Amino acid sequence: MSNSLSSPKRPDIRFERIGIVFAGGPAPAANAVISAAAVSFLRAGVQVVGVRHGYSSLMEYSTENPLIEGRDYIHLTHKVLARTRNSQGIMIGTSRANPGKFVERPEDLADETKSGLLKNVYDGLRSINVDALISIGGDDTLKTANKLKLYQQRSAHRGKVIPVVHLPKTIDNDYHGIDFTFGFFTAVDFLAQELRNLIYDAEVTRSYFIAETMGRSAGWLAYGAAIAGESSLVISVEDIEGDYRNEEVTTLPDGTQKHRDVMVLDKVVERIVKTMIAREREGKEYGVIVLAEGLAEFLPSRYLEGVRRDDHGHISISEVNLCDIFSAHVSAHFEKRMGKRRRIKGLQLGYESRCAKPHAFDVMLGSQLGVGAFRALAERDLNGVMVSVSGQLDLHYEPFEKLIDPKTLVTVVRFIKSGSDFHRLARFLETQVTD
């Protein structure tokens, strides 16, 4: 038996250079992940390069437009990485550039036009001698990592295979295969503090705040912040069901009909007003309502006219002003019901939390994920897996196939289950409404 204080034996590694790419929105503890992964390989004698600004430069790579050190990638050395695990921001930057945006099904990988950007990414990585890739990002980035892996497996591809390992990142915490993603608890705590400050403001001014928090696809962040921030009510996309959900049918210029699920806005507004009335009966003429930004996707079409979409097809939520829309409707509905006015102010929260100083737990979690990338590639010789952590930071590895729909190549989002203990906790703690 080896001494418990002895250093772990480093395996023989077939890689000479590892690449790390970070894509999507920022998250606290990003540098803990990058640093831990890079140091693990450096100590094993493997060079590490950080691809700057996500996939943006890789997508534009060609022999006429080569990657330039300093601009498009940097060498991650021990000196560069010194004391970075607790630092804020992302040392290699990020972007939402999507090289797989034209690949919507497996058959598209055989189409040179649709898979052209993935080829650019592969060729760009090989041009700087990257032997394996560590992908860090959210569900869209996982989708990209899987497409890059599948692209290399297609029969027409003859180049050296670059194994891809993905590390899950999103403050939204909407991933299958892992309990909590790094940065989630830091973001929750930051937003909860903001909500608690707003409660004091609301109390002294006898008013309400409708706070829109980040959380595009699922309500984990909104619910977490609402629980820790002692909000009066939280509503997310998971709550738009039953009487709160309807189908909207619109006729397109070519005569075809488009069907989409939308919220019954009046019903949702009424639910908020019921909370306000219940608080009035308790002698509380103030409060904070939390809305997840993803609710904007469920607004009737008239509220989304002219709103842009990104490379992944998501609407630009910052252009919608969900909280202002709700503030106006809630104010009018409350005055109609109660015969008096109550000041209601809408505001957006979230971007401030994405690069907040990471908490110890997120630094520990992020560090373990970074080390997990080393273990997956160097010790287990894996390809096409997401590194996961459960329990007391125990590592395990989830194949892409378990996380991504094989027909659509879209990552399966993890929603809060209605009636789950986490969901019930928020409902138990918020202002009780009796119809």
Residue 318 CB burial class (10 angstroms; 0-12, 13-18, ≥19): middle
184-355+417-429 folds as: Rossmann fold (3.40.50)
The DSSP element (H or E) to which 347 belongs, if any, is: strand 343-348
pLDDT tens figures, 144-196: 999 999 999 885 667 789 999 999 998 888 888 899 999 999 999 999 999 99
What does the pLDDT read at residue 372?
Answer: 97
What does the pLDDT read at residue 176?
Answer: 87
**In 10 A of CB 295, how many CB atoms?**
27
Q: What is the Cα–Cα distance from 223 to 312, expressed in whole angstroms?
A: 25
CA torsion 166→167→169→172, rounded to 10°? 80
- At the second CATH level, the architecture of 17-181+358-403 is 3-Layer(aba) Sandwich (3.40)
In the predicted model, residues of the chain with pLDDT beneath 50 are: none
Give me the residues paired with residue 19 across strands.
Answer: 49, 133
Structural domain boundaries of the chain?
17-181+358-403, 184-355+417-429
What does the pLDDT read at residue 188?
Answer: 95
Q: Is the pTM of this model over 0.85?
A: yes
What does the pLDDT read at residue 159?
Answer: 77
pLDDT tens figures, 70-99: 999 999 999 999 999 999 999 999 999 999
What does the pLDDT read at residue 352?
Answer: 86
What does the pLDDT read at residue 156?
Answer: 62
Structure tokens belonging to residue 218: 């699922």
Give me the residues paired with residue 116 across strands.
Answer: none
Q: What is the Cα–Cα distance from 345 to 287, expressed in whole angstroms?
A: 11
Which whole-number Å values give the CA distances from 392 to 19, 118, 233, 368, in the listed order?
28, 37, 32, 11
Per the CB < 8 A criterion, the answer to whether 135 and 156 are in contact is no
What does the pLDDT read at residue 420?
Answer: 92
The DSSP element (H or E) to which 136 belongs, if any, is: strand 132-137
What does the pLDDT read at residue 13?
Answer: 81
